[in-house]
Amino acid sequence: MVFKGPLKYLVLFAFSALFFMLNACTFNGLGVVLPYMVQELGWAWAVAGLGFTFLGLSCGLASLAPAIAIRKIGIAKTMLLGGAVLAVGFICMAIAQSSYTYFLGTILLGIGFALCGTTAGVNVVSHSFRRSSTAVGIYFTAGGLGAVAGPLIVYATQEWTGEWRYYWVGAAVCAVLLSIFAAIVTTDRPKLQDEEDDRHVDRESGGWTARSALRTAQYYIVVGAYTAFLLINTTVHGFAVQHLSESGLTMGGAATVMSAIALVSAAGSAAAGLAGERMTPRHVAMLSLTATVIGTLALIGGGSWFTIPVTVLGLGIGFGFSYVSTAMLLIDLFGKRPNLELYSIMSLISTTAAIGPALGGMVRDENGSFSVVFLGCAALGFIFLVLLTWMRRPEEPELLLDPALDDAGQRAVTDTAQPVLAA
């Protein structure tokens, strides 16, 4: 899907606005509104954490849906479908009285996030801009700003109205309006376009196909790093507010810390996009993992004024660089043409990250602390930091000339890539 001229900037704005809403009102907002829901509805934290797990699980399991939908019905209709699913999910959250309605809402929000989120956004944005790293950085920066706004909006809504349900109603309205806007600006591209350009790019970058990329060890290292980022991110956002409030901060102070993390993350996404034009995506990913590990360890210290700045900077930089670096690392290693499928499969595999919040809730109910969970998150991040440090670039598949060329004289790509393990 390629947009050109002034239209590509409007498309970037539409997808960025939609991603802003998704980050503000799903993973980031839910972690702040959960304490209010738990208090009013009398749930255990295991129940609250399970809903967060359903959110991540449904988002991951639906990861192939946007790739299929975009190729079958086009990007515009995919955005409309995703917006409708999101709206129903937000309404379920708004009317929740039992845990079952809450679980249904989080499942629908995960599916809607998958349809309207990063798989579609990264694919469209990266294909439409020559300086794709910068454009993807802008897209994730918008998401980071949404993460800043989400906790503050929840807290402000609760303070002004005393009713957390209004937050979910507003989110439903925003989902409908922004998905319609995204559909309008993309409606003139019902099918994937510019396949000739994609083939040309892939011939220059080694002729990678999704099948050949899936046979390399490097792909699964990138997927593992992305999964680690996602697990740490969802676990931290699910329980950090409660953890900080139990460690000496007020609810408002804890929400402010999360917003500060998101603010640094938003700046980090923009910086990562620019850094990606000058540094290799692998080095950007390594920097992100290092900062994430440090920030997660500092979070164990709770509300200490010594550890809070380290937590904010570490997690902010780590989260901000993470999604840009892994998205661009896939493109850097395997090219743009198979990226829609590779990103979707990566998101599907990363569904395993959904176990983090569920385990976190269980640990909290058992021993009254989230510290052990955060320590485990840091250990996981360190493991993939080591793997990325050892990882070498995969050997490019050979390009063999097909004796039966088409009218355009295109070459047929033979899947001959072999896994290249790190030295």
Does residue 196 fall inside a structural domain? Answer: yes
Tell me what pLDDT residue 1 has: 55
DSSP state of 209: -
Cβ pair 28, 237 in contact under 8 A: yes
**C-alpha distance across the termini of the chain, in Å:** 37
Cβ pair 324, 339 in contact under 8 A: no
Tell me what pLDDT residue 350 has: 82
Domain containing 378 equals 6-390
List the pLDDT tens digit at each of the 423 positions of the chain.
Answer: 566 667 888 989 999 999 999 989 998 788 889 888 988 888 888 888 888 889 878 888 898 899 899 888 889 999 999 999 999 999 999 999 989 999 999 999 999 999 999 888 888 888 777 777 788 888 988 887 887 788 888 888 888 988 999 999 999 999 999 999 999 998 865 444 444 444 444 444 446 888 888 989 999 999 999 999 988 988 887 788 888 888 878 888 888 888 788 788 888 888 887 777 778 889 999 999 999 999 999 998 877 788 899 999 999 999 888 888 888 898 888 887 888 888 889 988 887 887 877 777 787 777 777 888 898 899 999 999 999 999 988 887 765 334 443 444 344 444 444 444 443
Cα–Cα distance measured from residue 124 to residue 13, given in angstroms and rounded to the nearest whole number:
12
Does residue 379 fall inside a structural domain? Answer: yes
Tell me phi and psi for residue 399, to 5 degrees.
-105, 115
Total number of residues shown for the chain: 423
For 369, residues 6+ apart whose C-beta sits below 8 A from its C-beta are 243, 246, 363
Tell me what pLDDT residue 200 has: 44
Tell me what pLDDT residue 137 has: 86
Does residue 417 fall inside a structural domain? Answer: no
Instruction: Name the strand (E) or helix (H) holding 214.
Output: none
Tell me what pLDDT residue 382 has: 95
Does residue 309 fall inside a structural domain? Answer: yes
Does residue 146 fall inside a structural domain? Answer: yes
Tell me what pLDDT residue 221 has: 94
Does residue 358 fall inside a structural domain? Answer: yes
CATH code for the domain in which residue 209 is found: 1.20.1250.20
Alpha-carbon distances, residue 379 vs 321, 374, 375 (angstroms)? 19, 9, 6
Does residue 340 fall inside a structural domain? Answer: yes
Cα–Cα distance measured from residue 169 to residue 87, given in angstroms and rounded to the nearest whole number:
9
Map tokens 């809607």 to a residue: 112
Tell me what pLDDT residue 188 has: 60
User: What angle separates helix 45-61 from helix 355-367, to the nearest 10 degrees?
Assistant: 170
Cα–Cα distance measured from residue 237 to residue 25, given in angstroms and rounded to the nearest whole number:
12
Give SS3 for 213: helix
Does residue 310 fall inside a structural domain? Answer: yes
Number of domains in the chain: 1
Q: Is the pTM value of this prediction over 0.85?
A: no
